[in-house]
Structure 1
Amino acid sequence: MNGSLPAFPELGVLFLSKNMLTGSLSSFCTSSSQSLIQLDMSSNFLEGQLSDCWGKFKSLEVLNLAENNLSGKLPNSFGARRQIKSLHLNRNNFSGEIPSLILCHKLQLIDVGDNNLQGTLPMWIGHHLLQLSNLRMRANKFQGNIPTSLCNLSFLQVLDLSQNNIIGEIPQCFDRIVALSNLSFPRTTFQHTSFIYFVENEMYETGPFIDKEILAWKGSNKEYDKILGLVTIIDLSCNHLTGEIPQSITKLVALATLNLSRNNLTGIIPSNIGHMERLESLDLSRNHLSGRMPTSFSNLTFLNNMNLSFNNLDGKIPVSTQLQTFDSYSYVGNNRLCGPPLINLCPSDVISSTRTNDKHVTSEEDEDKLITFGFYVSLVLGFIIGFWGVCGTLVIKTSWRRAYFKFFNNMKDWIYVTLAVFVNRLKKRFQVED
């Protein structure tokens, strides 16, 4: 479908995503439709600023305007939507600050990523939007610290603040986010109201609307819908964060993806990182981390994507089924890191290898030292004395020679008689049985 939007009649739901619609959304302000509950106009060519008329849609639960060319400031009337649960404004050209949404207590998903929004991260998010599960604000111009009020969001499963200008330290209180620290936390899909409608006196029911989201997962963007409620991500990459990685972050045992890359983090990798046993993707690259890789890394059996490159790590890479399967690029830029899969051996491995070789060489040398000139002299003397001590006596001493041969003749006769008697007994036994 193409062309500009007309004035719509009274509607409950309107899904026109992934078309070629152009123009602005100003027609909605003149529309008589005030009972709109779900509106999806994503992936079109809509442009211009949003009129500040959204206060009339008091029943609006889902608003998806993502992937258009909309611009200007976000209207303040968004904050009057008390029923709204899902707000997608990502991949547009919106600017300015986010208007206050403190009255939108039912919000579960906010996506304003890939815009030109600015200002500090709103503190009111963690104080008023306590049902929030997905918060995606990536690729904007937000600045300031990460507010500790975000730790109040017990339902938060996706936190993406990457590619901004955020400074300061990572909050120590992230372990208070129950959805990320409790494996038994209930997780469901983002499913919204189904509708009943009539056509020629026949009743029909639409299926429930399942929300979807495009998230960065293991280095690439993927769209999630039915399993969106199962995804757990923290992405703080490409900012200006400083300080150490808090030990408390290792209590997020339900977290599947952690990306802290391209910051200015210092200190060591938390020793208890192995407690995050559900971790599938870990990116700590391009920071200033130092020290050894904790041995608890070997507990991360689900880890299939890892990048620790360009830090100041040293020591031996822990032996693990997972860690040795990553290519060397996962560790590049850590000049003092050693051990498989890297080609440079650790000092302890070199010493161990040297000792093994020394023992092998020493053993061969010891064997060689046994074969000397005296060994050959003893061998010859032993042969002469043993052989001629017996045979020479028989040649010289006639009585001994006779006794020797007589002994062998008697032995031969005894063996012959014994065998003959044994064979006759066998023959008689077989004859009796027949």
Structure 2
Amino acid sequence: MYLTYCPFTLETELTYNVSNLEVLILSWNQLNGTLPIEGKKFFILSYIVNLFSNGSQFIVFIIIFLILRSFLSSVIFVSSFGIIYLLLYVLAGLASFYHLKILDLQQNGFYGSVPPFIGASSLKALYLNSNKFNGSLPIQGLCELKKLEELDLSYNHIEGILPPCLSNLTSLRLFDVSGNQFIGNHLSSLLGSLNSLEYIDLRHNRFEELFSFSSFVNHSKLEVVAITSDNDKFEVETEYKDWLPMFQLKVFVLPNCNLNKRSGDFPKFLLHQNTLSFIDLSHNNLEGSFPNWLLVNNTKLEYLSLENNSFVGEFHLSPYYNSYTCWMDVSDNQLIGHIQLNMGEMVPYLIHINLSRNAFGGSIPSSIGKMRILEVLDLSSNNLLGEVPKQLVRNC
């Protein structure tokens, strides 16, 4: 069912004659309101649905009927007939989604608490990102989606802790909760249990803890790691013993996360990574010489940001021609020496390069004029001398 770019609002519950529905996509609309599966009544009644879907006998129905009659009749219905009607209504409705595998509600205006999704145990992908959900995550229901492989809750207003029971989702490959207000200090134990993960994005939350990369020692499929916090109480430590990762990262994003705060060491495990295309370790006060081996080992590196650290010494690029790198920022460090004369020949497809706020001397290399698609060149706050090369003005 594809209903993208349809400007209507969801004011009633989803139609119930969709018993074979496997994929429901309502993303990129202007839908709003709360989802029609929430509240305490839903928890109780969804449990009943699960009992019947598993083939429970008629005696179970009688027991449930008696319980509901004494417990719910005064709240929901005043008659036995009303309770029976309620049971049939829920069974007819929620059971329709037992085959649902993909639910995509991203980029809408849904608000309220994230529903528990009990009765949707077949779900493999759940996308609720870029809405207005708030409150805390439900412990019941969400942690029972054992088949879930992709969970995207990013860019909402969800708060509280990540329920520890999320460690039950051992099939999870994609886990994105960025852009929320999560707190807590148990990320290491939670992520350590999810060793099927390929993609992790925890940026822009309010975690407060020391997160150790030892949590990933048994992860062999990991490709994307993006972690940071919007406060100064979160630390990431990558250095422990002499460990060799079983994974090969493609994206490594840890800006402003007090990386290796105690030692200031550059992450040594990156020496064993050779498929990286995107690196952002800016604003971490890392020390030592500029790690030009990152460019040597990762020949398809496209993005490198090491801004606002404490690297010293000379700045050297890879000695090999590189047609992939298009963005580089090593500003606000303590780099010295001359800017590499053949820079424009070795990385000719740079679009953005920032070498400002260092201590480079000498002249501006004329080879920069060979960067024909260059859009941003920042060499400010250095000790450069001489004239601006004519090639730079003519060709860029």
Following superposition, the deviation at residue 21 of structure 1 comes to: 2.0
Secondary structure of the structure 2 residue equivalent to 1:46: strand
Which structure has the highest helix share of the two? 1
Residues 1:48 and 1:303: Cα distance change in structure 2 (over 3 Å): same
Residues 1:328 and 1:94: Cα distance change in structure 2 (over 3 Å): closer
Secondary structure of the structure 2 residue equivalent to 1:39: strand
Secondary structure of the structure 2 residue equivalent to 1:63: strand
Following superposition, the deviation at residue 7 of structure 1 comes to: 5.2
Q: Is the 8 A contact 1:260 1:284 kept in 2?
A: yes
Following superposition, the deviation at residue 120 of structure 1 comes to: 5.9
Q: Which residue matches 1:90?
A: 154
CA distance in 1, matches of 2:351, 2:252: 21
Give the TM-score taking structure 2 as reference length: 0.59
Is 2:396 aligned against 1:333?
no
> Relative contact order: is structure 1 or structure 2 higher (C-alpha 8 Å, sep ≥ 6)?
2
Q: Which residue matches 1:429?
A: none
Residues 1:99 and 1:171: Cα distance change in structure 2 (over 3 Å): farther
Is 2:10 aligned against 1:3?
yes
Following superposition, the deviation at residue 294 of structure 1 comes to: 4.6
Matches within 5 A, 1:102-181: 102-119=167-184, 122-123=187-188, 127=192, 129=194, 132-141=197-206, 142=229, 143-147=234-238, 152=245, 154-162=247-255, 168=261, 169=264, 170-180=266-276
Kindly name which structure, 1 or 2, has the bigger radius of gyration based on alpha carbons: 1
Q: Which residue matches 1:264?
A: 309
Residues 1:249 and 1:260: Cα distance change in structure 2 (over 3 Å): same
Give the TM-score taking structure 1 as reference length: 0.55
CA distance in 1, matches of 2:257, 2:347: 29
Counterpart of 1:61 (choices 103, 109, 124) is 124
Is 2:142 aligned against 1:46?
no
CA distance in 2, matches of 1:35, 1:110: 22
Bigger shift: residues 287-296 or 82-91: 287-296
Following superposition, the deviation at residue 37 of structure 1 comes to: 0.9
Following superposition, the deviation at residue 315 of structure 1 comes to: 3.6
Counterpart of 1:283 (choices 326, 329, 347) is 329
Q: Is the 8 A contact 1:42 1:66 kept in 2?
A: yes
CA distance in 1, matches of 2:370, 2:351: 9
Secondary structure of the structure 1 residue equivalent to 2:304: strand
Residues 1:110 and 1:289: Cα distance change in structure 2 (over 3 Å): farther
Deviations 1:216-264 (A, max 9, x none): xxxxxxxxxxxxxxxx322334x44432454543322222112233x33
Residues 1:324 and 1:156: Cα distance change in structure 2 (over 3 Å): closer
Whichever residue aligns with residue 122 of structure 2, its letter is S
Q: Is the 8 A contact 2:255 2:284 kept in 1?
A: no
Deviations 1:389-408 (A, max 9, x none): xxxxxxxxxxxxxxxxxxxx
Q: Is the 8 A contact 2:146 2:169 kept in 1?
A: yes
Deviations 1:274-304 (A, max 9, x none): 5582222112233444444355744223322
CA distance in 1, matches of 2:347, 2:23: 45
CA distance in 2, matches of 1:115, 1:172: 30
Secondary structure of the structure 2 residue equivalent to 1:234: strand
Q: Is the 8 A contact 2:37 2:117 kept in 1?
A: no
Q: Which residue matches 1:242?
A: 286
Residues 1:81 and 1:21: Cα distance change in structure 2 (over 3 Å): same
Following superposition, the deviation at residue 305 of structure 1 comes to: 1.9
Q: Which residue matches 1:20?
A: 30
Gaps of 5+ in 1: 181-231, 344-434
Q: Is the 8 A contact 1:127 1:152 kept in 2?
A: no
Q: Is the 8 A contact 2:352 2:376 kept in 1?
A: no
Whichever residue aligns with residue 249 of structure 2, its letter is L
Residues 1:113 and 1:178: Cα distance change in structure 2 (over 3 Å): same
Q: Is the 8 A contact 2:351 2:376 kept in 1?
A: no
Q: Which residue matches 1:233?
A: 278
Matches within 5 A, 1:193-204: none
Residues 1:26 and 1:133: Cα distance change in structure 2 (over 3 Å): same
Bigger shift: residues 161-170 or 28-37: 161-170
CA distance in 2, matches of 1:49, 1:286: 43
Residues 1:120 and 1:265: Cα distance change in structure 2 (over 3 Å): farther
Is 2:347 aligned against 1:300?
yes
Q: Is the 8 A contact 1:73 1:97 kept in 2?
A: yes
Bigger shift: residues 34-43 or 304-313: 304-313
Following superposition, the deviation at residue 43 of structure 1 comes to: 1.1
Q: Which residue matches 2:100?
A: 36
Following superposition, the deviation at residue 106 of structure 1 comes to: 4.1
How many pairs align?
288
Secondary structure of the structure 2 residue equivalent to 1:320: helix
Following superposition, the deviation at residue 269 of structure 1 comes to: 5.7
Whichever residue aligns with residue 337 of structure 1, its letter is L
Following superposition, the deviation at residue 333 of structure 1 comes to: 1.9
Following superposition, the deviation at residue 82 of structure 1 comes to: 3.9
Residues 1:328 and 1:8: Cα distance change in structure 2 (over 3 Å): closer
CA distance in 1, matches of 2:268, 2:15: 50
Residues 1:43 and 1:126: Cα distance change in structure 2 (over 3 Å): closer
CA distance in 2, matches of 1:246, 1:126: 28
Following superposition, the deviation at residue 311 of structure 1 comes to: 2.8
Bigger shift: residues 124-133 or 103-112: 124-133
Gaps of 5+ in 2: 1-7, 47-93, 207-228, 391-396
Residues 1:175 and 1:252: Cα distance change in structure 2 (over 3 Å): farther
CA distance in 2, matches of 1:125, 1:253: 33
Residues 1:7 and 1:296: Cα distance change in structure 2 (over 3 Å): same
Residues 1:112 and 1:163: Cα distance change in structure 2 (over 3 Å): farther
Q: Is the 8 A contact 2:27 2:104 kept in 1?
A: yes
CA distance in 2, matches of 1:151, 1:285: 30
Q: Which residue matches 1:208?
A: none
